[in-house]
Structure 1
Amino acid sequence: MDSLTNVNPALAAYLIEADPALWSRVYCPGDRYNIKTSNIAESINSMIKKAKGYPITYLIEFITKKLGRWYWKRREDALSLTITFSWGVEFLLAVREHYADMMTIEHIDGWRFYVRGGQHDCLVDLEAKTCSCGVFDVEKIPCSHAIKALKSSGLHMSTVVEAYYRKDYVYASYAANIMPNVEHDPIGQDIRCIPPIPKRKPGRQKKSRWLTWLELSRKKGSKPRKSHKQYACSKCKQPGHT
């Protein structure tokens, strides 16, 4: 925040006024992931792009089949895991364990330890699952200080990792089955509903969305600069007021 205040004081003041609990992971009252992104929407848009020109019934069937294959593939991947947690968490624990071996520890009692090393010397409380560095508290995954304390006390790392990182939770995320559309006989009278005939606009139909100013600048390889329309007064023709 100090660096942001030096660069743009107005932006720093705006973020503080907007409540840090809404944009800072540390101050969030609940648990959330460290990345917030719209890439999944971009993936869906790219996936259905070739089916957008067809009737709506075909588009829905196309999306249903695609999601069914995705769910089945991820369900099989979760079942094939031979480890306790997901691959990302296991890799993170292995990296932090490597740095934990370089640290020194001082015992306070059966649950609390003072660990020296890394960027800061930290106080670890295994009973409360906290560390003064804050990483253990927010991620619910032991940091290097906590791993050093766990190894010193003879406990395994898996005992303090939050349950929703386990492979059975990964499987449960894709446990639902997406059923394909099965032909069936209509119930009651068969009434045909004919869609209206729209008046099509001339020219080739656009399938992709308009790019934002930031995406256009990245595509051109130039510095992003949002263009603002200059409004002028209708009386004196001077900008800055209307």
Structure 2
Amino acid sequence: MDELKAFNKKAHLWLSKIPPLHWSRAYFSGRAVSDIVLNNMCEVFNGKIVEGRDKPIISALEYIREYLMRRIVTVLNVIERSEGLLTPKATELFEGIKRDATAYHVQWNGGGDLYQVSGKPNHARVVNLAARTCSCRAWEITGMPCRHAVAAIWEKAANGGRVGALESWVHPVHTMERWKQVYSFRVNPINGRTLWTRVNAPTTITPPKHHTQVGRPKKLRKRSAVELEEMTQSGRLSKKHTKGACSKCKKTGHNSRTCKGQGEAAKTGKLGKSGNAGKKRKAAAN
């Protein structure tokens, strides 16, 4: 926050008015067992239903229901192919944590489950294996032992302690068993509208008054000012991360001005073949 204040006082004042527990991992309670600070999950779901958002309400709900049916089946197929105690993503993250833990030095106090784990100078952390906490708070927030905790667990095992499988120290939310429980529910198929039961509703819900806007309806989300600034440069759309094709040889990596003659050679080859064929036909006619 001090660095932000030195950079922009107005931004520091604006951010100071928001409680830190809503945007800073250091103040998360750990109840959600997640350190996500963005709404990426909502964005992903919103992107998946983009084809159904402009439909009438019942058609939009039917689109979402059918998408969820396909989604559940896709995840169940992944579960059938997966092995191990943790989910594939949790396994990938935990393997990275274990690689980092090999560079840490552990000191045990000789009694209890308190360990001092140090890596960089003046960056020691205290791990309590009994409470499953670390002073870096990553274990509490994510439910997955941090690199300090993994190093402490290895130290306890080296001193004859019973630790079991390293994956058993991970919160159950990251296990395959919990993943299977989440996707144990199904979205059942239903008949089409022609077979729906007609009901005599006491009220009739009329559609809202619709005013046709000028221009083509927009389906894409509105981009922020920062995104637009990154996309545009000097008033023109940036071609960053795009591959253009040469108009002569149709190959990527260069344009017509920097073409080394590939296109001309191809054209010449084609003209040469057609010219030879014409000469042969003329000689045969004579």
Q: Deviations over 1:12-63 (max 9, x none)?
A: 3433332212221221234342223344444444444444565544433222
Contact 2:114–2:128 (8 Å) recurs in 1 = yes
Structure 1 letter corresponding to 2:170 = V
Q: Which residue of structure 2 lines up, in the alignment, with residue 89 of structure 1?
A: 90
Q: When the two structures are superposed, what TM-score results if normalisation uses the length of structure 1? A: 0.74
1:199 offset after TM fit, Å? Answer: 6.8
Contact 2:30–2:142 (8 Å) recurs in 1 = no
CA separation in 2, counterparts of 1:143 and 1:194?
Answer: 54
Q: Which residue of structure 2 lines up, in the alignment, with residue 131 of structure 1?
A: 134
Matched, 1:218 2:230: yes
Q: Which residue of structure 2 lines up, in the alignment, with residue 71 of structure 1?
A: 72
Distance 1:55 1:114, change over 3 A: closer
Distance 1:201 1:73, change over 3 A: same
Contact 1:142–1:157 (8 Å) recurs in 2 = no
1:73 offset after TM fit, Å? Answer: 0.9
Q: Which residue of structure 2 lines up, in the alignment, with residue 160 of structure 1?
A: 169
Alignment of 1:1-242 (within 5 A): 1-32=1-32, 33-51=34-52, 55-108=56-109, 109-118=111-120, 120-154=123-157, 155=163, 156-183=165-192, 184=195, 186=197, 201=212, 205-208=216-219, 209-220=221-232
Distance 1:203 1:7, change over 3 A: closer
Structure 2 letter corresponding to 1:144 = R
Structure 1 letter corresponding to 2:6 = N
Distance 1:46 1:211, change over 3 A: same
Tell me the secondary structure at the aligned position of residue 124 of structure 1: strand
CA separation in 2, counterparts of 1:51 and 1:133?
Answer: 44
Unmatched segments (≥5 aa) in structure 1: 224-242
CA separation in 1, counterparts of 2:214 and 2:73?
Answer: 40
Greater relative contact order, per chain length (Cα 8 Å cut-off, separation 6+): 1
Contact 2:86–2:174 (8 Å) recurs in 1 = yes
Structure 2 letter corresponding to 1:215 = E
Contact 1:113–1:123 (8 Å) recurs in 2 = yes
Distance 1:114 1:66, change over 3 A: same
Tell me the secondary structure at the aligned position of residue 113 of structure 1: strand
Structure 2 letter corresponding to 1:162 = H
Q: Deviations over 1:145-182 (max 9, x none)?
A: 21111112122322321111111222233332112231
Tell me the secondary structure at the aligned position of residue 26 of structure 1: helix
Tell me the secondary structure at the aligned position of residue 201 of structure 1: coil
Contact 1:105–1:116 (8 Å) recurs in 2 = yes
Tell me the secondary structure at the aligned position of residue 105 of structure 1: strand
Distance 1:53 1:204, change over 3 A: farther
Contact 1:86–1:165 (8 Å) recurs in 2 = yes
Contact 2:23–2:37 (8 Å) recurs in 1 = no
Q: When the two structures are superposed, what TM-score results if normalisation uses the length of structure 2? A: 0.64
Structure 2 letter corresponding to 1:4 = L
Tell me how many residue pairs correspond in the alignment: 221
Distance 1:153 1:58, change over 3 A: same
Q: Deviations over 1:113-158 (max 9, x none)?
A: 2223246222221101122233223222112221111112122322
1:2 offset after TM fit, Å? Answer: 2.2
CA separation in 2, counterparts of 1:92 and 1:164?
Answer: 14
Distance 1:28 1:116, change over 3 A: closer
Q: Deviations over 1:62-81 (max 9, x none)?
A: 22211110112113323432
Structure 1 letter corresponding to 2:130 = E
Q: Which has the larger radius of gyration?
A: 2
Structure 1 letter corresponding to 2:81 = S
Question: Superposition RMSD on alpha carbons, in Å?
Answer: 3.3
Structure 1 letter corresponding to 2:153 = L
